[in-house]
Amino acid sequence: MSYLVLARKWRPQNFDEIIGQETITRTLTNALKTGRVAHAFLFTGARGVGKTTLARVLAKALNCEKGPTAEPCGACGPCQEIAAGSAVDVQEIDGASNNSVEDVRALRETVRYMPSSGRYKIYIIDEVHMLSAGAFNALLKTLEEPPAHVVFIFATTEPHKVPVTIHSRCQRYDFRRIPLALIQERLEKISAQEKLAAEPEALRILAREAEGSMRDALSLLDQVASFAGAKIGREQVVQILGLAQRKFLTELSAAVLSGDAKRALTVVDEVFGYGYDVRQFCRELIGHFRNLAVAKLADAPERLMDLVEDELREVQAQAEKASQETLLLLFDLLVAGEQAMAHSNQPRLVLEMTVAKMAHLKPVVPIPEILEQIRELEARLGSAPAARASDPKADPPLFEPAGPASGEQGSTPVAKPAPAAGNAWEQFLAHAQEHDPKLAALLGGGRFRGVSGNEVRVAFAPDSLGLLRLTSKGNAPKLNQLVEGFFGAGHRVVVLEENLEEEPPAPRHKYLEADKLRREAMENPLVKELQEKLDAKIEEIKTK
Ligand SMILES: [Zn+2]
């Protein structure tokens, strides 16, 4: 007995065997039950999602000896002939090769005659969008006044190429891509029946590669089974399909995100040594960076990615390491690289240079964030100390007794005599400046509100960068270390959210003497970055 490919052997024979198109099968079975079946259908959707399969099932439903019925018996003459593709009354026509006016005219000749044995003459025209304009016109005449015994089922992957006049005379059904989980489930069932020992992970990869097409999924299973035999593992699938192992993708992206061009080039070399097609690898890398961006941007990224749980967690962890701007730029670089590879006869070199460029890309700080940082910097450098030195709000006593009411707004803090009280905040900022200039810059933008117990209180305007940054989890350990290093173990910075608009700008802190000020400005990472990015020079540092 000759080998029957899986896609044909396991072709659904009934409405309820058709997977992933429930809305359509339900509508059609209802129409059959109530005897209200249209005379022309337009089935649209990607390849391999079940359009012609459903067309055949519909043909059986209409011509079954026990029909018209929503459950064709599958045993009678018409049912078996249709399944075998030999039914005289059901014609399957390939629109691509029968696309001329003459072809359609010949078809119209046969339309006039009554069906030979079945109830209906059924014409299934696949890839109907390939018909010529003249052919569509000829077809239209029949569609305008279809004989009662004729049913047309048109299938197309490109509905926009089908004239509106045809559309308007058909009942249209849009087939969706079949969800990965359903394809995987089907593959599992079929491999069990075929006595193939396939790892679920292997089948999941096949399902993913099929991109929503059941036919492609089954062809891939055929392909893998014919090489691997009855035992199908993940490694074999990866090898036979020439897919880059995920570990190469994640290693390469990790190298890129940490700016390690050397490591990135090594990974490309390993990929090449493994015998992968570099163009294919590049396409998969694009998919991987797309996932990283989606993980960063989407609320429920798992729904937008065909990944198993481990892979998803890995992607999310990597996405954490870069801003969305950086990820989008890296994606653009890769896409440009892929396009360059398409025109190059040295794709490997192009890929190498692409990943090197990606690794050298500086982290991108979003413009609004830069502006906000500039504003904070300005606010910090911008006020004269002398005028505010005695302002109790701007320079509160350092210590106040801890107590239940001490944190309330408006309560008058009772100053505890302490030698360093007046300028402890200044000293703390100087301490911070030494250890972590970035945090010092953020802290300096706030208003010191005194120390209560082991709480060092600083106020920020709502939504200010200082507030957001200092309360972010990432900064907490550094901040704790700073404050404990100065105020003693157990101390914590407590960030208060206050409306500061009424208040004068933050005082210029005394530790910022003129030369320090300049040095600090020069060394400020933000200023440095601005200098680089905008090719700017520091001309003068003004204090207001
Ligand atoms: Zn039947």
Question: Based on the domain organization, do 394 and 257 belong to the same domain?
Answer: no
Question: Based on the domain organization, do 186 and 295 belong to the same domain?
Answer: no
**The domain that contains 194 carries what CATH number?**
1.10.8.60
Ligand 1: centre distance to CA 255 (Å): 61
Average pLDDT of the residues in 343-367? 88
Distance from C-alpha of 268 to C-alpha of 358, rounded to nearest angstrom: 13
| Closest to 147 in 3D by CA, of 112, 109, 110 | 112
Say which residues have a Cβ less than 8 Å from residue 33's Cβ, sequence separation at least 6: 70
Question: Based on the domain organization, do 158 and 34 belong to the same domain?
Answer: yes
pLDDT, mean over the chain: 83
pLDDT of residue 468: 77
Confidence label for 151 from pLDDT (cuts 50, 70 and 90): very high
Which residue(s) pair with 122 in the sheet?
Answer: 90, 151
Phi, psi of 150 (to 5 degrees): -115, 135
Question: Based on the domain organization, do 185 and 327 belong to the same domain?
Answer: no
Q: Is residue 406 part of a domain?
A: no
> Quick check: 192 pLDDT over 90?
yes
Q: Select from 147, 174, 201 the last residue of a domain.
A: 174
Question: Based on the domain organization, do 165 and 16 belong to the same domain?
Answer: yes
Average pLDDT of the residues in 346-353? 93
Ligand 1: centre distance to CA 117 (Å): 13
Ligand 1: centre distance to CA 63 (Å): 7
Question: Based on the domain organization, do 457 and 526 belong to the same domain?
Answer: yes
Ligand 1: centre distance to CA 79 (Å): 4
Question: Based on the domain organization, do 33 and 116 belong to the same domain?
Answer: yes
**The domain that contains 294 carries what CATH number?**
1.20.272.10
Q: Is residue 245 part of a domain?
A: no
**The domain that contains 70 carries what CATH number?**
3.40.50.300
- When divided into structural domains, the chain yields a total of 4
Question: Based on the domain organization, do 510 and 448 belong to the same domain?
Answer: yes
Question: Based on the domain organization, do 75 and 224 belong to the same domain?
Answer: no
Q: Is residue 96 part of a domain?
A: yes
Q: Is residue 542 part of a domain?
A: no
pLDDT of residue 420: 46
Ligand 1: centre distance to CA 168 (Å): 31
Ligand 1: centre distance to CA 70 (Å): 11
Q: Select from 142, 159, 174 the last residue of a domain.
A: 174
Confidence label for 503 from pLDDT (cuts 50, 70 and 90): low
> Quick check: 405 pLDDT over 70?
no
Q: Select from 116, 149, 174 the last residue of a domain.
A: 174
Ligand 1: centre distance to CA 78 (Å): 6
Ligand 1: centre distance to CA 86 (Å): 14
Full domain range(s) for residue 225: 180-240
**Cβ neighbours, 10 Å, residue 401:** 12
pLDDT of residue 413: 42
Q: Is residue 325 part of a domain?
A: yes
Q: Is residue 189 part of a domain?
A: yes
pLDDT of residue 1: 45
Q: Is residue 411 part of a domain?
A: no
Ligand 1: centre distance to CA 48 (Å): 25
pLDDT tens digit sequence for 366-398? 777 777 877 787 777 765 443 334 444 444 444
Confidence label for 541 from pLDDT (cuts 50, 70 and 90): low
Ligand 1: centre distance to CA 39 (Å): 20
Question: Based on the domain organization, do 192 and 287 belong to the same domain?
Answer: no
pLDDT of residue 49: 94
Average pLDDT of the residues in 320-329? 90
Task: Kindly state the tokens that stand for 394.
Answer: 């701007």
> Quick check: 69 pLDDT over 80?
yes
Distance from C-alpha of 23 to C-alpha of 364, rounded to nearest angstrom: 46
Ligand 1: centre distance to CA 75 (Å): 5
Ligand 1: centre distance to CA 460 (Å): 77
pLDDT tens digit sequence for 241-298? 777 677 889 999 999 999 999 999 999 998 887 777 888 889 989 999 999 999 988 8
- 79-88, 169-178, 273-282, 316-325: which range is least confident on average? 273-282
Distance from C-alpha of 248 to C-alpha of 268, rounded to nearest angstrom: 8
Say which residues have a Cβ less than 8 Å from residue 120's Cβ, sequence separation at least 6: 59, 62, 63, 89, 149, 150, 151
Confidence label for 300 from pLDDT (cuts 50, 70 and 90): confident
Ligand 1: centre distance to CA 57 (Å): 11
Cα dihedral sign for 54, 59, 62, 66? negative
Which residue(s) pair with 151 in the sheet?
Answer: 122
- 219-233, 321-335, 366-380, 393-407: which range is least confident on average? 393-407
pLDDT of residue 416: 40
Q: Is residue 412 part of a domain?
A: no
Question: Based on the domain organization, do 125 and 268 belong to the same domain?
Answer: no
Question: Based on the domain organization, do 229 and 265 belong to the same domain?
Answer: no
Ligand 1: centre distance to CA 4 (Å): 23
Ligand 1: centre distance to CA 31 (Å): 18
Ligand 1: centre distance to CA 128 (Å): 28
Please state the ipTM of this predicted complex. Answer: 0.98
| CA–CA distances in Å: residue 98 to residues 94, 111, 357 | 6, 16, 51
